[in-house]
Amino acid sequence: MINKKKQKKNNLDINAQPGTTDRNLTGSWRTFKPEIDKNKCIGCKLCSQICPERAISMKKIKGQDKAEVNYDYCKGCAVCAKHCPVKAIIMKRDEK
């Protein structure tokens, strides 16, 4: 019989602990990077909420929230581009 308390703790150990993504620069891993068309962005915040690395934040531009990418943390997974309701995010090859 598996101890449920132990099993729950082990599941947490597999995933990143809270706050660890802020300490790990993952930007060098990517092949593609998201580029945000600020004119298309409607400030819905979906991209910032679903980004697994918390690399997208919202910034006020002319009084409106617009998405902004911190490329130090972005792995280029394209989750943001896939879920953007207005297709304001496109993935481009990262030329390093």
Domains of the chain and CATH, by start: 26-93 (3.30.70.20)
Q: Which run of H or of E encompasses 95?
A: none
Give the 3-state secondary structure of residue 34: strand
Residues 25/75, Cβ–Cβ less than 8 Å: no
Percent of the chain with pLDDT over 70: 75
Query: Residue 52 and residue 55: Cα distance in Å, rounded?
Result: 8
Amino acid, res. 22: D
With bands split at pLDDT 50, 70 and 90, how would you rate the model's confidence at 11? very low
pLDDT for 84 equals 97
Tens of pLDDT, residue by residue over 40-60, are: 999 999 999 999 889 999 999
- Whole-angstrom CA distances from 16 to 12, 24, 44, 52 are 8, 11, 26, 10
Check the CA dihedral 9-13-15-21 and report its sign: positive
Tens of pLDDT, residue by residue over 83-94, are: 999 999 999 998
Q: Which run of H or of E encompasses 68?
A: strand 64-69
Mean of pLDDT values over 72-93: 95
Give the residue, 24 or 30, on which the prediction is more confident. 30
pTM of this structure: 0.73
